[in-house]
Amino acid sequence: MERDSGQIQVTSAPDAIVAKWRMDVDTKIIDDGAYSYSWETKIYLLYNPWGKHDQVYIKSEEWRDETVLNDVGLIWRGTYNRVKPVIWKYDQFEKDILDCSLYLVNIVGKVKRSNRADPAKTTRALAAAVNAADDLGAVMGNWSEDHSGGTPPTKWIGSKEILQKYYKKKKPVKYGQCWVFSGVLTTVCRALGIPARTITNYSSAHDTQNSLTVDYFMDEHGTVMEELNSDSIWNFHVWNEVWMQRPDLGTHYAGWQAIDATPQELSDEMYRCGPASVAAVKLGEKSTLTSSILAQHAWARVLIFWKYAGPTQPLKLLRKDIYGIGKIICTKAPGKFECEDITYTYKHPEKTTEERTTMLKALRQSESLFSRYYLNEDFNDIHFNFKLIDDIKIGQPFNVILEMKNRSKLKEHKVSVILRVEVVTYTGKIGDNVKKDILVRVIKPETTEEVKLAVTYEDYGKRLVDQCAFSISCLATVEDTKFEYYAQDDFRIRKPDIKIMLKETPVEEKEVTAEISCQLMDWQKAEFRFTPPRTGRHTIAAKFVSKQMDDVDGYLVIMVEPKKEPNGQQ
């Protein structure tokens, strides 16, 4: 009996439900019987960033390749003056990653079927499903120093192990902090076909009063009063951007949308954040944003220091810093292991008319009294310059320096200065005092004086916390005028890097020897072997962990050549 065959092309609609589908084929022979067939292999329908009618279509080929297809990237940590790129393997094409992503959308995120074609509603649900603050999400947060029963956040090098472990047990994986939440969320979005990238904001504000100011209170000794400080500035904070059209908001708000899976504040009774149009953030459009916490990170523009003298005394405004927040916003450049500064997409260049206008527009929308103080100016009798600390490697000493210039032509001034160094977590929580000194200088007319606090490794070595960050501060009082100046800055001591070097050209399915080295007190070296499974670009990542030091890492990007066949052909 002859068998005829034919081909049928089925094209899914741009707004088809993103899910795992079953395909049934029903045939009917004219004037004869019928035949039904169910294909055992399931079909996955994803968002399509290549489809011009899809809501996540992205025209830029280089950004499409980077934010959908690239399975490895860099996440920036550290401080704005000592950035630290860390390798992160997204591995969105590995086993169980897509199924786990759909599980997070359907079961944990509880996205209705009719909404699973909407990337805005899907990514909003994923921002909650990736953390475990109020559901059985993928990652449990932990910002303490006790990581018993789990993996310290600094030890992870990628999303695969986290998501595979989570999908197998359906229980939150311990532990994560902001860059871990962001790395996992990038993986999930890319697996579903949504262009996603990881964003780092240095000197990132957490404005709990929605005043668009970050307010710090200290006593007469310059000690930060943690019991009064509800606001904070994180050395860095990592969130995500996803690319999509926004028919719910209008064409002006299409493009990159900010989402954040780090559980910080409730939004619609869940710990989630976004999607917030980056264009709306730049324009200062508060009413357009979906999440207040993203507005805090992006909009809080003024850092204000107050002196607290007691419950019956008025607060004294010490200093305003309009450039101390959101200093650098960056992501990995497309196709390169380099940093791309995208600060301009969130705000106008500092000191421009557009930037000041947008800031004042946002401040005047605030109902908080704290935001109103910014509109008052002050006068400084003496010019103070708090000098930044240069590149310091762990084990080396450093100096904290305050330069004071008397601009008066006739009058000398006596200035009392308190210099302090304290350890600080990346979320801005002040820890132990490392060193403090009180110095007094008489500054002659039109002269400059300098005070210095020298800090040795013996001073700070045993007090290091988190990611080797310090808060340095000074409180200076001009005694005859009672004018007070306060300044604060963060910096990070640099840990050694791991160097990786191959001893031969990597070839597919052929064992390769590599040398790994790290300079602790002196150079430590070792060898390891691995077999590349396939050709093309790969990334080797390494971590060093010990009781004395952690968060030491390195990576190497390699190109694996095809294996040669017995006849010499590749």
Sheet holding 498-502, edge to edge: 498-502, 512-519, 523-530
> H or E segment at 401?
strand 398-406
Percent helix / strand / coil, the chain, rounded to 5 = 20, 40, 40
Report how far residue 18's alpha carbon sits from residue 44's, in angstroms, rounded to the nearest whole number. 8
Block residue for tokens 């994986």: 173
DSSP of 12-43: --TT---EEEEEEEEEE-TTS-EEEEEEEEEE
CB 417 within 8 A of CB 476: yes
Nearest-Å Rg of the Cα atoms of the chain is: 28
From CA 539, how far away is CA 534, in angstroms rounded? Answer: 12
What one-letter code names the amino acid at 518?
A: C
DSSP helix/strand/coil, 205: strand
- CA dist., res. 68 & res. 191, Å (int): 8
User: Which residue's entry shows tokens 């002050």?
Assistant: 378
Residue 327 near residue 318, CB atoms below 8 Å: no
Active site residues: 237, 260
CB 486 within 8 A of CB 475: yes
Tell whether omega for the bond before 175 is within 30 degrees of 0, i.e. cis.
Answer: yes
Please say whether the dihedral angle defined by the alpha carbons of residues 461, 556, 173 and 56, taken in this order, is positive or negative: positive
* Distance in angstroms (rounded) separating the CA atoms of residues 193 and 374: 44
Backbone φ and ψ for 333, nearest 5 degrees, come out as -70, 150
Extract the tokens encoding 509. Answer: 């399915």
Neighbouring-strand partners of residue 304: 215, 320
CA angle, residues 258, 262, 268, in degrees to nearest 5: 75
β-bridge pairing 173-176 and 213-218: unpaired
Cis link prior to 275 (omega < 30° from 0)? yes
Termini Cα distance of the chain: 44
